Amino acid sequence: MQAQPELKKDLVLIGGGHAHALVLREWGLRSLAGARLTLINPAPAAPYSGMLPGHVAGHYTREELDIDLVKLARFAGARLIIGHATAIDPKAQVISVDGGRRIGYDVASVDIGIHAQMPDISGFVEHASGVKPLDVYAARWQAFLAGVAAGETLAHVAVIGAGVAGVELALAMAYALQSNVDKQVHLIEAGGDITARARSARGPLRAAMRDLGVQLHANATAVRITAGDVELADGTRLNSRFTVGSAGAFAHGWLQQTALPLTPSGFILVDPALQVEGCPGLFAVGDCAEMVHNPRPKAGVFAVRAAPVLAHNLHASLTGGALRPFKPQQDYLKLISMGGKRALAEKWGLAMTLPGLWRWKDYIDRAFMKKFQNLPSKEPERSPKAR
């Protein structure tokens, strides 16, 4: 029997987001002979967003929050480059990494997430953190808690943005600080109320906020942040030694310097197969991508659901196979943490709080993380023949 010719192609994953983590796991199970896999990520671990509120509240350790990319890359037989991607040239098929390194690719995918920095607010860069990147925020939160415990700083915090993520974080921080009699937790919202998509979710969330002492400042705009307070447009000053921005999802600025097709907000435009429009062999997934044919909110569930389609399409691009479309669901179940070990479920505009919902969320989150902790046995390499 004549041996299959080797592909000798490079597949490069930019970013260790949820979809890419699942692609790495799939590659470790069923790698493709002749294809070299590379992962580029700023850190050797990637935090799982679903467990962030639980980590902030103190239910999970920092280690439980992280996907170990070193272990995962080793399992996948991939080389891991620790660094920030700074440019992509889709014509030359080259990725630039900080430090001047250039990585060529035959097929590549971008899964770099978003950030929540708010530089338009005076003092934000110097005195506040965006909730994303998650690893930066989580590290600063732990340092703040240590300072509070040591008596070096006051337990005064503020969250800008009262969407679901902002409410979850405010409740989690209030829960973590509940033993401090002088704690202050401020939730700042430009609109008139918390902005949970289901109206029926607002009552239970407001009740949880009252129970934990979270103060909602509605119709309020933060204009300046210092080391000790947040100033609102009406002149009000709110005490805060730890301020976090959760009022939006923003694309990473370096994408604007590329020739990639972007939305006006800077997100990468992709077609139904998750391929970057006009850039064969280049894909994007997760929060950094925008499916113009089927727009969806920025939520990790869509990245997770897209992973099998992405894995197939990366293989197909390497072997000349047919691409599959990604068909995201119209709605999804949202399990919202409420500070302590309680959760609210919301879908189709309906919300409920029931005993056991937090345990269910905890089970789902831990099951997802176990995919990367308890890695299964590998299967033989696939030949380069297209499936």
Tokens coding 254:
């370096």
Q: Is there a contact between 81 and 103 (Cβ–Cβ < 8 Å)?
A: yes
Report how far residue 247's alpha carbon sits from residue 194's, in angstroms, rounded to the nearest whole number: 11
**DSSP character for 276?**
B
User: Same domain, yes or no, for 51 and 134?
Assistant: no
pLDDT tens digit sequence for 237-288: 999 999 999 988 889 999 999 999 999 999 999 999 999 999 999 999 999 9
Residues 6+ apart with CB under 8 A from 144: 153, 157, 241, 242
Residues, the chain = 387
For residue 119, whether the previous peptide bond is cis, meaning omega lies within 30 degrees of 0, is no
Residues 6+ apart with CB under 8 A from 143: none
Q: Which pLDDT band holds residue 355 (cuts at 50, 70, 90)?
A: confident
pLDDT tens digit sequence for 299-333: 767 788 999 999 999 999 999 999 999 988 776 78
User: Same domain, yes or no, for 137 and 241?
Assistant: yes
Task: Specify the range with the lowest mean pLDDT, choosing from 112-121, 227-236, 371-380.
Answer: 371-380
Q: Does residue 341 sit within a domain? A: no
Neighbouring CB atoms inside 10 A of 248's CB total 16
pLDDT tens digit sequence for 23-71: 999 999 988 889 999 999 999 999 999 999 999 999 999 999 999 999 9
Q: Is there a contact between 164 and 196 (Cβ–Cβ < 8 Å)?
A: yes
> What mean pLDDT is predicted for residues 372-385?
69
User: Same domain, yes or no, for 259 and 220?
Assistant: no
> How high is the pLDDT of residue 28?
94
User: Same domain, yes or no, for 53 and 160?
Assistant: no
Report how far residue 17's alpha carbon sits from residue 81's, in angstroms, rounded to the nearest whole number: 15
> How high is the pLDDT of residue 383?
56
Q: What percent of the chain has pLDDT over 90?
A: 75
Q: Is there a contact between 242 and 145 (Cβ–Cβ < 8 Å)?
A: no
Q: Which pLDDT band holds residue 387 (cuts at 50, 70, 90)?
A: very low
Best-predicted range by mean pLDDT (84-88, 161-165, 331-335): 84-88
What's the mean pLDDT when you consider all of the chain? 91
**Domain count for the chain:** 2
Which residue in 192, 178, 252 sits closest to 221, CA to CA? 192
Report how far residue 89's alpha carbon sits from residue 109's, in angstroms, rounded to the nearest whole number: 13
User: Same domain, yes or no, for 78 and 103?
Assistant: yes
Task: Specify the range with the lowest mean pLDDT, choosing from 51-65, 83-97, 108-122, 323-337.
Answer: 323-337
Tokens coding 103:
């990585």
Report how far residue 26's alpha carbon sits from residue 105's, in angstroms, rounded to the nearest whole number: 20
- CATH number for position 110: 3.50.50.60
CA distances from 30 to 26, 140, 331, 360 (A): 6, 38, 31, 31
pLDDT at 380 over 60: no
User: Same domain, yes or no, for 140 and 90?
Assistant: no
pLDDT at 197 over 70: no
> How high is the pLDDT of residue 1?
44
Phi, psi (deg, nearest 5) at residue 309? -65, -45
User: Same domain, yes or no, for 234 and 294?
Assistant: no
Report how far residue 108's alpha carbon sits from residue 311's, in angstroms, rounded to the nearest whole number: 11
User: Same domain, yes or no, for 152 and 104?
Assistant: no
Q: Does residue 276 sit within a domain? A: yes
Final residue belonging to a domain, choices 315, 332, 349: 332
Residues 6+ apart with CB under 8 A from 347: 331, 332, 333, 334
Tokens coding 111:
């899964």
Best-predicted range by mean pLDDT (36-45, 341-350, 370-379): 36-45
Phi, psi (deg, nearest 5) at residue 192? -85, -5
pLDDT at 5 over 90: no
Between these two residues, 83 and 199, which has the higher pLDDT value? 83
Between these two residues, 107 and 335, which has the higher pLDDT value? 107
Question: What 3-state class would DSSP assign to 156?
Answer: strand
> How high is the pLDDT of residue 295?
72
Q: Does residue 209 sit within a domain? A: yes
Final residue belonging to a domain, choices 282, 311, 332: 332
Tokens coding 267:
């997100």
Q: Which pLDDT band holds residue 386 (cuts at 50, 70, 90)?
A: very low
Tokens coding 309:
């389609």
Which residue in 119, 118, 84, 112 sits closest to 99, CA to CA? 84
Tokens coding 244:
């976090």
Phi, psi (deg, nearest 5) at residue 128? -140, 170
User: Same domain, yes or no, for 95 and 66?
Assistant: yes
Task: Specify the range with the lowest mean pLDDT, choosing from 17-26, 189-198, 284-293, 341-350.
Answer: 189-198
**Residue 96 is part of which domain span?**
9-114+250-332
